[in-house]
Amino acid sequence: MNRKDIIHIGVRAHPDGGPAHAAKDPARHWYLSISETARREMRLPYHKRLRVRLSPHGSPVILPVVPTWRTAVHAEDTLLPVRVSKNKQGIVLGPIIGILTVKRPGATTFRGNRANFRDIAKMGKRLGLTVAVFTPEGLAKGGDSVLGYIHAGPRKGATGTKWRQVVLPLPSVVYNRVPDRESEARADVVRAKKWLAERGIPLFNNGFFNKADLYRWLQDDQETAPYLPRTAPLESHDQLRRWVRQHELLYVKPVDGKAGDGIIQVRREGERFRVTYQNNGKRSHTTHKNRQDAADAVWSRTRGRDYLLQQGIYLTSHAGRHFDLRLLLQKNRYGNWQVTGMGARIADADGITTHVPNGGQIEKADKLLRASFGRQKGDEVGNKVKQTALRLAETIERAATRDGGLIGEMSMDIGLASDGKLWFFEANAKPMKFDEPYIRAKSLMRLLHYCEFLTRSN
């Protein structure tokens, strides 16, 4: 980081009170550390106190300016890098990027993928951005501050956590990483989203996708409908029997499923029907002499939960194992969709899905496509998959935004049938990270660039 518009907000380690108190007396919580270069380049006055806005959504406050640059007043204070700009509102600092998650009941810290949060925070620091994790409990009932967690490393001579809880100015934008559907539905999470909306703070990836919604959105667009396998909500026993009769390969998927759990496959094998159940990384099988018995067995497993029926697709195989493609799509610094990465997932020898928790294996997409189709054709197929995914993402975003909320990233599963046709299988609004270092770094940077875009656009 070598930007001339970076200054630091000093967060005092032991102020009196919490977020509500910070709103009444911000100087007891925060101070400014400004370099000579930033003063000169941004034409900041040489005053002992400056009137600033700590976020585009906050009220102006007057903070003391310390004479040292990048040196905390006290060793236990936390310095937050922020950019400084001047507009008709005066001197504005930020952005501060918020990550929303939850606590476990009775716990003192937060849930979620801490390694992911740490990586985002480190990339933010490289870009001159402060990234903070917070939970609904950290939102003040009023005022311009929140109680959040900063990844700052252990204090000198200390061991243990690298996350410090501090009182922070309002975030400029919020990335929703509430970890599961149950938490998303909690009353405190719903209130937190309302709290942010009332203050005009943009939040993106508002919730998990529902499989039924995805298929409805894509089916309603004539350009994306052809990529959908035949799909319908499971509504009756008779309907299930008809589908088993009409399809040699059939999938029954829970609407709220994740990572392939709860999926049932019905496959015709000669005169018999094999039913495979997948749960918690384990599979079990039953064999039935006719369609009726197979449908009865599936029906008995689907009571009390919403499912979709979906036509099975015979996928392209490599070394006798079928595979599909997973893409990470993200908005860039201009608010446009781009493919950040693409990988292949190979099912195990007895697998009914390619999900890694259920026995799948990750491989480089270009390597597998070239091995299957040859170098030139494989590259053409890869480019076609990416262009198709972008078109699908635009349709999903349009519909999801209409139903409420912004989307900044998603993962998508696309299947390549043995006849070369592309099929959409799944999209996830809370994507897991790609492990390849190059894709990982690009995804982190693109995520933060989109946060900056939202800050500028809001």
What's the pLDDT tens digit per position in 305-349?
889 899 998 888 877 888 889 999 999 999 999 999 999 888 765
**CA 431 to CA 433: how far, in whole Å?**
6
Query: pLDDT grade, residue 58 (50/70/90)?
Result: confident
Q: Are 188 and 139 in contact (CB under 8 A)?
A: no
Structure tokens at 321: 């194992």
> 235-311 has which fold?
Dna Ligase; domain 1 (3.30.1490)
Which residues partner with 214 through β-bridges?
Answer: none
Structure tokens at 428: 């996830």
What is the enclosing helix (H) or strand (E) of 82? strand 78-87
Q: Which of 299, 291, 253, 252 is nearest to 272 (CA)?
A: 291
Structure tokens at 149: 């967690």
pTM: 0.88
Query: pLDDT grade, residue 68 (50/70/90)?
Result: confident
**CA 195 to CA 204: how far, in whole Å?**
14
Give the domain ranges of the chain.
1-204, 211-227+315-457, 235-311
Structure tokens at 7: 């200054």
pLDDT tens column, 374-417: 999 999 999 999 999 999 999 999 998 886 689 999 999 999 98
**Residue with the larger pLDDT of the pair 18 and 251:** 251
Phi, psi of 117 (to 5 degrees): -60, -40
**Residue with the larger pLDDT of the pair 165 and 108:** 165
- Relative to beta strand 49-53, strand 264-269 is unpaired
Burial class (CB in 10 A: 0-12, 13-18, 19+), 394: middle
- For domain 211-227+315-457, the CATH class is alpha beta
Q: Please, which residues have CB within 8 angstroms of residue 16's CB and are 6 or more apart in sequence?
A: 28
**Above 70 in pLDDT, residue 75?**
yes
Amino acid of residue 395: T
pLDDT tens column, 258-306: 766 788 999 998 889 989 888 776 778 889 999 899 999 999 888 878 8
pLDDT tens column, 352-376: 655 555 556 778 889 889 988 899 9
Structure tokens at 305: 């939960």
> ω into residue 95 within 30 of 0, thus cis?
yes
**CA 145 to CA 20: how far, in whole Å?**
7
